[in-house]
Amino acid sequence: MPGWTKTVFEVRARFAAPRDFVYSWLTDFSADDPKITGDAYQRKVVQKWARRVVFEDLFETPEGWGWLRNTVTLFPPSRWRMVAVGNSLDAKATYRLVSRGSESTELIMRWRLRSGLLRSKVPTKSSIEAGMRDVWGIYGKALERDYAHAQQRVGRADPT
């Protein structure tokens, strides 16, 4: 299998919610996650422990089924690391949350890719980063909506 690309992909996303809420929301992996973005892939959570989560994603491609096994190591309250092994691509990534005030959090994601077992070509930096910005924009809206609902349940005013 070829080595990791020298290219480091990076995407940042900002959320109107405090770091602890953002961390909890983003690291609560579930089979329902594809519904958030409207994607057609299937997710199965294989193991879920306090500091480690393993899940698999299955999706259709023009060449057949795509499969990805993700192992996430959690470092509360602000970091996690992911290693993914798939038939098309492998990935390793770090995620870090930075408080930007009491009601704002920035997520900094950095990852590297390599071809998987099928020797797929690694997509370009610009296409990967643009796609990830779009996905994280959708996650951000869902996260902020859930945060606003949580604040209403505890009697705090909606921050928006």
Question: Which CATH number belongs to the domain containing residue 68 in this structure?
Answer: 3.30.530.20
Asked whether the predicted pLDDT for residue 121 surpasses 90, the reply is no
Q: What is the pLDDT averaged over residues 55-82?
A: 94
Query: Does a structural domain hold residue 109?
Result: yes
What's the pLDDT score for residue 3? 82
> What letter does residue 145 receive in the DSSP assignment?
H
Domain membership flag for residue 127: yes
Q: Does residue 1 belong to any structural domain of this protein?
A: no
Residue 79 lies in a domain: yes
Packing angle, helices 19-26 and 125-153, rounded to 10: 110
* pLDDT (tens digit per residue) in 38-53: 999 999 999 999 999 9
pLDDT in tens, 95-115: 999 999 999 999 999 999 998
The pair of structure tokens assigned to 80 is: 């996690």
For CA atoms 15, 17, 21, 25, give the dihedral sign. negative
| Residue 155 token pair | 């009697």
Q: In 3-150, which ranges are E strands?
A: 9-15, 42-48, 52-61, 64-75, 79-86, 89-99, 105-115
Is residue 134, in this structure, part of any structural domain at all?
yes
Residues of the domain holding 49:
9-152
C-alpha to C-alpha distance for 13 and 82, rounded to whole angstroms: 17
Q: Are 77 and 23 in contact (CB under 8 A)?
A: yes
Q: Is residue 160 part of a domain?
A: no
Q: Is residue 4 part of a domain?
A: no
Instruction: Name the domain count of the chain.
Output: 1
Any domain includes 122: yes
Backbone angles phi, psi at 104, to 5 degrees: -145, 135
Q: Give the contacts of 131 (CB within 8 A, at least 6 positions apart).
A: none
Whether 160 has a pLDDT exceeding 70, the answer reads: no
